[in-house]
Amino acid sequence: MRLSHPWVLILLAILLPSLLWSLWTEFRLLDIRRTLVGRVTRRDLWRGLGRCNVALLTGGALILSLAGWHIQVWQRGDARHNAILAVGLDVSKSMLAEDVGRLPSSQNGSEIANRLNLGRQVATELFQNLAGEKAGLFFFARNGIEVVPPTRDQGFLRYMIQQTELANLTESGSDLAAAMDIGEDMAAALGGDAAGIVILISDGEDTENEPSALLARAELLAQKTIPVFTVGTGRDTEVFIPIRRPGQTGIDGFYEDNRGDYLKTRRDQRILRQIADITGGQYFAAENHTPQLLSRLILEQVNQRVATTSMPDKERILLDLAPWLLLVSMLGYMVYLLL
H-helix or E-strand spanning residue 33: helix 15-37
Side chain identity, residue 18: S
Contact 187, 86 (CB under 8 A): yes
Nearest by Cα to 181 from 156, 154, 208: 208
Helices (H), 41-199: 42-67, 115-128, 154-163, 176-187
Q: What is the model's pLDDT at position 223?
A: 92
Ranges for all domains in the chain classified under CATH 3.40.50.410? 79-312
Other beta carbons within 10 Å of 336: 16
Residue 24 neighbours by CB under 8 Å, 6+ apart: none
For 38, half-sphere exposure in the C-beta direction (CA atoms, 13 angstrom radius) is 0
Profile the chain (339 residues) by mean pLDDT over runs of 10 residues: 81 82 81 78 81 85 86 65 89 92 62 90 93 91 91 92 87 92 85 79 93 94 93 93 82 84 92 95 92 92 76 67 87 82
SS3 283: strand
Q: What is the model's pLDDT at position 110?
A: 61
Other beta carbons within 10 Å of 331: 14
β-strands 69-76, 314-320 pairing: antiparallel
Contact 208, 265 (CB under 8 A): no
Specify the pTM.
0.69
- 198 sits in the region (left: phi over 0; alpha: psi -120 to 50; else beta) called beta
**In the CATH scheme, what architecture does the domain 79-312 have?**
3-Layer(aba) Sandwich (3.40)
Q: How far apart are CA 55 and CA 6, in angstroms?
A: 22
